[in-house]
Structure 1
Amino acid sequence: MTRLLAALRAATLLVLLASASVWAQSTQIDYDAWSDVASRAEAALETGDVPTETLEELRSDLSGYRDRLLSQQNAGDPRLGTLQSQLDALGPPPEEGSEPEEIAQRRQDLRDQISQLQAPLMRAEEAYNRANGLIASIDEVIRSRETERLLERDPGPLDPRLWGPAITSVISPFRDIAREVRTNWADESVREKVFDQLPVILGIIAFSMLLVFRAPKLIDRLGAWLRSRTRRGTGVWSTLLALLRLAVPTIGLFLFVLAITMSGLVGTRGTQIIFVLPYMLFVVLLARWLAVETFSSDDEINTILLSQQRRTEARYYVNSLSWLLALNAMFTYLTEIGEWADETHAVLGFVIHLLCGLILFRLGQILRRTGPEGVTSEDGAEESQQLTFPSRLARLAGQGAMLVGIAGPILSGVGYFNIAEALIFPTILTLGLFALLLMLQRLMRDLYHLFTGTPLDENQSLLPVISGSVLTVAALPVLALIWGARVADLTELWARFQAGFSFGETRISPTDFLTFAFVFVIGYVLTRLLQGGLRGSVLPKTRLDKGGQTAIVSGTGYLGIFLAAIVAITAAGIDLTALAFVAGALSVGIGFGLQNIVQNFVSGIILLIERPISEGDWIEVNGQHGTVRDISVRSTRIETFDRTEVIVPNADLVSNSVTNYTRGNTLGRLVVDVGVAYGSDTRKVEDILFKIARNHDMVLMNPEPFVHFKGFGADSLEFDVRMILRDVTKILVVRTEVNHQITEAFRKEGIEIPFAQRDIWLRNPEALPGARAGNESSEEPTS
């Protein structure tokens, strides 16, 4: 549990360090003090026997100086850019001959000023590299010491010779406390002080007992009242009230301990020990709360899918673990303050390890059964697709808990006490952290229900995934601290992040990234606003067609994004010349691997500029007829007459033949073929066809329809009618109507529309088998 407190302290420390780094940027660096700190760190590393606490303090001082040195390097001097541009304006000195004395003197003055301004930056860079090296060396020493401590083998707790001293050590602190109480009570001045403060002490004790024993029931009544008054948000109220049930008894016990210390009956040693009691109660209540929230008997708020029997059993095991954690915290504290010897801690710790291992093994067995029970596939195997991500994670955590439950007590029994401690209790805290994350994610769902009034559909909403990801990322530092990471390790990661990375002579820091992102987002939003204004207000008032308007809006978007990127790069101070090598390598990759994409991209730009096709045009490409719905930079979306979407690469529209039926206008020609029987009056047929075409309202009279007598076919006299339609998109409707009118007119005038007829002539029919059999039967005599 000391790791949990370390994790909480580390979270606060990280926030303070983040704010301190901002403050450090404006402070000046005392290089004499820095040199003294660096020298002391080097001397400590050379000595080799400096305590770890001293090394941690030195590392903290070095880290503070390193942050300020990095800030000074990043800040630079704005005059350097001006002086360098002035020096560039003078140009290089001539290779042959001489230059005017005034120009040479001015060039030398500028170089001297630049060198003078660069001197502090170079000094800061040198000190920064020195600090980096010292910090790395200190971290290496501390990690090696921690490894050695873990691998130390203590006296085996199974040695009976240690049991007697261990039992005596357990009783000794409490005997000392009782002796202190008797001694202080024998002191008359102490008794007078107790009697003088007795009303206050009794009042505090009574109030603390009320908080410990009575307040939880009042909180339960408050929860019932809130649930009866509100129709939604009960999950939020339950979580808040559970936190209140956690905090109030802990405060009550703390007040009780405070009242005992106010009496003066407990000495220094007793005060040190009894102040651990509120912490132990907090651990027990916290574990009980997580157990109730994780393995609740209510199916609506249950976070892990288990049967009711398994949930009850899991809650019992978690509560047992909480008491063992509290006892281990007490044992560790007594060892740290020197009340117990390491051998005593090893013997008592082995008992705690053994009980924790048994409970972890059983709890792991329960977690392995997480998921829907009785759900099987057709072949009888368990249907793993039914498991949610928390259930899968719970099963994995169960397997790890079973492994630690076996390995931890064995290692503790053979003397590797520190390794057992580093396995068992971080595993318990990790399970608690996992339960806390599940509870917080459920709280997000309840908050959504509270503010919107509608339940959150986890199968369709992205909110559970986002909230789970954010909570997981936020829990990673706590998880690292639980498993033995130092606060300095996390601050080192933050320092590495602040330092950024280098491209050539250019250093790109997180501030540059944030500046780039901020400026680019502003440019992107302005571009979208400009596109919306052009699309909705400006372009509809012009004479441009829809395709031209779309081309202008799309071109404005591409140009705006490009300019936003350029302005963002300039504002962030990123030197693109440092990326020239990378850009050259990428260009080779684009030339080979992304050739088709670049080809389609360029073709899209050509389509937007030339506009051979526009949105709404009826085109034919690659044998597909359809209407253009969208022209993007890579492909064009065409909707066919079957209402299917066809995605055509822009390169096909530029390099292949494309038929555009409605480019510029909707006029188009319709040709209707018809045949009449031989012997029909061809003049009369021509007149009928001409009248039908001329009288249709979709047919233009300029140019007039034309009836073409094509010639003499094998079965009919062939004609076709050619007419220009006002709207070629109605060609199927017009063709159908014209065919109906032709049929009706020919039937009325008695003109026959022939169809192909064929007569089959069999040569030598008598040679067929059926014919021979018929002839033979006809020749037989009849009786």
Structure 2
Amino acid sequence: MIFRPIHFLLSLALLLCLLVMPAVSAGAQQPATGTSSPGALTPTDWNAALSPITRQLRDPRMDDEGFAVLRADLDRLRVHATTERDQFRQVATATQSQLDALGPPPAAGQPREAAAVTESRRQLAVRLQSAQDSTKQAELALTRIVALQDEVADEARRQFTRQLLYRGASPFNPDFWRGGFDDIGATSAQVMAIPAQWWAADQGRRPGHSTLLQIVIVVAIAGALLVPTQRWLRRNYGILPENEDPSPVRRTIAAFTVLIGRTAMPLVVLWAAYGVLLGNGWLEGLVGSMVLMLMQAVSTALLAYGLAHATLAPHQPAWALIPLSEPERDKLLRRTAAVAVGMILLAVLVAPSRVPDFSFAGRNMVIAAVALFLFISNLAFSDPRVWRSLPDEWRPLRLLSGLIFGLNLVALVAMLLGYYGAAAFLSYGLLGSALSLGAYALVRIAVRDGLANLAENPDSRFRTWRQSLGLSGPMSTTSQLLLGLLADIILFLLLLAGLAVSWGVSRATLVSYMLELFYGVTIGPVTISLGNILTAVVVLVIGIGITRLLSGGLNSRLETQAGIDPGVRNSMVTGLTYVGYLLAIVAGVGVVGLDLSNLAIIAGALSVGIGFGLQNIVNNFVSGLILLIERPVKVGDWVVVGTREGYVRRINVRSTEIETFPRASVIIPNSELISQSVMNWTHRNRLGRIDIQINLSYNADLEKAREVLLKCLTEHPDILSMPAPLVVFREFEAGTLLFALRGHISDVEKRHIIESDLRFAIHKALKESGVGLPYGGPNTLHLADIERLEKALGGLRAAQDRPKSDGQA
């Protein structure tokens, strides 16, 4: 069973390679823009790279696709300029270090240096100057690229505003239909002639039979990889009809499995064939643009239809992510199928708009058709009657559908008034927002349920995940909250990206913003780089992981070593952990780019405040280090601190945890263990001594009592023979004689048990030997010869009663 996930991952990797190879082959056929010898660092001609972009930006015929291409080119150049600047900075730093190693040239009147040293200094100076000049050129190019990016964004925003507020002919105007149909009719002949022209223009293509053979091979390999993978997914993560109450996370996983099963094979076949055709030069120019648009429409239709079946689960209602009743579910599936077919038909209808000579009247009609299609799609999915059967916990979805339905009417009014761009923008934004919010809600429910299952460990699959994550017990509430917060942040960022794309922000713009955050945003003299922050987090996590791995390995190794004290083991492991954490933090700070000398200056400036405000914390921290180094107390020691007594369970940075005998945890600041007196029963070893006091009667036979008590000590198996046990006559007390029994034991933790055993044995031995034990306390009166006293009192009572008897007589 362990090989099946590996087989799935290998199949997925091979499939990705299969899809990427055609694009790579296509890129390999393009001429290279420049070459350099291995190890050489040649500065880029930035004027030649940026001038074409500047000319394209001034072209009044630029459209959204053109702006997207410019953004992508500028992002690529920005990455290249940043990399080149950093590389030349490194070269300049290394060269300067070599010059500093040579030292300053000899002054006038000093002996001349060797010619080789002079030549090396000259070459290094030239190299340093060249590196510094190239660094400045790269920084200047970065400034120009940023300015061009801002200019592209401003121009795209102005064009978007013009398109949004542009008002064409109303659908009620006959000229709208007449001009639109005339343009489409005039362009149809040109569109119909495109396939023949495309087939005739075979320059740069591979032969048709070779391309067809490649397509067949790619499709066959894709089928051989996908079919067993889909079966494995369906068998392990698909819908189980016998399970009538699946958890939200299980239903979500099953929905993704159904989606992959319904869409993966056709999508892979389509895009693999497209990649082969593109790589062999069959999809160029206008034909390539039309085919790409049709491929996108077919892919979107397949995904929409597969997503509807995966979400609604028509054959297994218990596995549905959205619990609709059967009539509403069937109605929504039919509408989804109709919308999917409409997407493909719309792509065919929009194809003439790709022709360069397509006029404004025809474009207005195409935009109106797109807006009408989006309006009908929104109307089909936001119909409140479809969602009225949902239970009360799905009320937000019903409210969302009503809101979209109302805003969709606004889009209809804008379309009827001739604002086709605004209508299409509003309809597309509503549809994308609904899909983004729905996906966010469903995935969030599944993630929350998955975290709960991971914490509670209800079944074997989650148990395996927990063991792989190193979770041995129930996950703490804090860990659940932190993981849930992290998941919410990631999902919320993805939701924002989906909403941004839905409301007109292009993917290229999003990528540009992400790259800008990744490479740094300058605020005054400070540059905040998301890339450096993420790298620092990764370095910190890796450092902490390596530290925990090493400390765990050291702990395991020391546990198997005989003669290693547990306290010594804990000190070594804790010290290694602290050092590893410190190194990880220093490495993370270094990756961020913070100057440690500046941090030292800031720390010095804040030292006074730290001295007063954090005095106790620093004191406890230093005390914790002293405890780890000097080890006056160790983990596992039996200590007495004031009135608190127990075992040391953990020595932390700030405090030490002591577990008392009633199993209560006492948290003691480390400074108290250093500044106060601490009695440690097991500091050097576990040897100890017991002291039992016993009172005997004054009438007891002391020699016999001594023998009995000493015999009780020597016969106990835990009393050591060396030093020898003792019976000590302590003192005379009021009414009793005080004796003390002393014996040494090998494990002081058994002191109470041994003392209890000895008391039982002493009591039994003294009773059997007839040695008198005192009764009562020191104020108790003991009377001897009670029989004689009784006789005397009886005679006295008889003498008193005799005269009364004689008188009566």
The equivalences for 1:141-290 within 5 A come to: 141-153=155-167, 161-162=172-173, 164-165=174-175, 239-243=259-263, 246-247=266-267, 283-290=300-307
User: Would you say the 8 A contact 1:294–1:304 is kept in 2?
Assistant: yes
Change (3 A) 1:679 1:68: same
Change (3 A) 1:129 1:501: same
1:359 to 380, 396, 404: 380
1:579-616 CA-partner distances (Å, limit 9, x unpaired): 44565578678656765554443323212211112333
Whole-Å separation in 2 of the counterparts to 1:571 and 1:597: 28
Match of 1:311 in 2: 329
Count of aligned pairs between the two proteins: 658
User: 1:712 aligned to 2:729?
Assistant: no
Match of 1:406 in 2: 406
Whole-Å separation in 2 of the counterparts to 1:413 and 1:101: 92
- Of the structure 1 ranges 432-441 and 409-418, higher mean CA displacement relative to structure 2 is found in 432-441
User: Would you say the 8 A contact 1:617–1:663 is kept in 2?
Assistant: yes
Match of 1:68 in 2: 80
Match of 2:7 in 1: none
2:333 aligned partner, one-letter code: R
1:754 to 775, 785, 788: 775
Match of 2:690 in 1: 670
Deviation at 1:495, TM superposition (A): 3.2
The 3-state SS of whatever aligns with 2:645 is strand
Change (3 A) 1:440 1:286: farther
2:337 aligned partner, one-letter code: N
Change (3 A) 1:525 1:649: same
Match of 1:427 in 2: 430
Match of 1:770 in 2: none
The 3-state SS of whatever aligns with 1:555 is helix
The equivalences for 1:580-729 within 5 A come to: 580=600, 597-621=617-641, 623-643=643-663, 648-676=668-696, 688-701=708-721, 702=723, 704-713=725-734, 718-729=738-749
Change (3 A) 1:57 1:241: closer
User: Would you say the 8 A contact 2:368–2:424 is kept in 1?
Assistant: no
- Of the structure 1 ranges 651-660 and 127-136, higher mean CA displacement relative to structure 2 is found in 651-660
Whole-Å separation in 2 of the counterparts to 1:593 and 1:141: 54
User: 1:740 aligned to 2:783?
Assistant: no
Query: Quick one: percent identity of the two aligned structures?
Result: 27
> What TM-score do the two structures reach when normalised by structure 2?
0.63
User: Would you say the 8 A contact 1:321–1:356 is kept in 2?
Assistant: yes
User: Would you say the 8 A contact 2:517–2:531 is kept in 1?
Assistant: no
Match of 1:118 in 2: 132
2:425 aligned partner, one-letter code: A
1:432-479 CA-partner distances (Å, limit 9, x unpaired): 567778699999x9xxxxxxxx87459986999899998887787565
C-alpha RMSD over aligned residues: 6.0
Change (3 A) 1:136 1:558: same
Whole-Å separation in 1 of the counterparts to 2:329 and 2:163: 39
User: Would you say the 8 A contact 1:503–1:578 is kept in 2?
Assistant: no
Change (3 A) 1:552 1:243: same
Deviation at 1:661, TM superposition (A): 0.9
2:519 aligned partner, one-letter code: A
The 3-state SS of whatever aligns with 1:737 is helix
Change (3 A) 1:304 1:591: farther
Match of 1:769 in 2: none
User: 1:135 aligned to 2:132?
Assistant: no
User: 1:33 aligned to 2:70?
Assistant: no
Change (3 A) 1:409 1:539: closer
User: Would you say the 8 A contact 2:367–2:424 is kept in 1?
Assistant: no
Deviation at 1:736, TM superposition (A): 1.2
Match of 1:482 in 2: 502
Change (3 A) 1:648 1:305: farther
Whole-Å separation in 1 of the counterparts to 2:136 and 2:686: 73
Whole-Å separation in 2 of the counterparts to 1:229 and 1:504: 55
Whole-Å separation in 1 of the counterparts to 2:301 and 2:421: 24
1:614 aligned partner, one-letter code: K
User: Would you say the 8 A contact 1:357–1:409 is kept in 2?
Assistant: no
> What TM-score do the two structures reach when normalised by structure 1?
0.65
Change (3 A) 1:98 1:639: farther
User: Would you say the 8 A contact 1:519–1:568 is kept in 2?
Assistant: yes
Change (3 A) 1:676 1:506: same
Whole-Å separation in 1 of the counterparts to 2:94 and 2:287: 69
- Of the structure 1 ranges 578-587 and 483-492, higher mean CA displacement relative to structure 2 is found in 578-587
1:358 aligned partner, one-letter code: L
Deviation at 1:652, TM superposition (A): 3.8
Deviation at 1:650, TM superposition (A): 3.4
User: Would you say the 8 A contact 1:704–1:723 is kept in 2?
Assistant: yes
Deviation at 1:75, TM superposition (A): 0.1
The 3-state SS of whatever aligns with 1:76 is helix
1:638-681 CA-partner distances (Å, limit 9, x unpaired): 44444555555434433343221112222223232334567656
Match of 2:247 in 1: none
User: Would you say the 8 A contact 1:295–1:314 is kept in 2?
Assistant: no
Whole-Å separation in 1 of the counterparts to 2:497 and 2:549: 40
Deviation at 1:343, TM superposition (A): 5.8
User: Would you say the 8 A contact 2:551–2:576 is kept in 1?
Assistant: yes
1:418 to 391, 415, 421: 421
Whole-Å separation in 2 of the counterparts to 1:227 and 1:564: 41
Residue segments in structure 1 that go unaligned for 5+ positions in a row:
1-7, 194-217, 255-267, 374-381, 385-390, 446-453, 760-783
Change (3 A) 1:501 1:285: closer
1:233-272 CA-partner distances (Å, limit 9, x unpaired): 6768855541267559989x99xxxxxxxxxxxxx99999
2:741 aligned partner, one-letter code: V
User: Would you say the 8 A contact 2:411–2:424 is kept in 1?
Assistant: no
User: 1:295 aligned to 2:312?
Assistant: yes
The equivalences for 1:49-68 within 5 A come to: 61-68=73-80
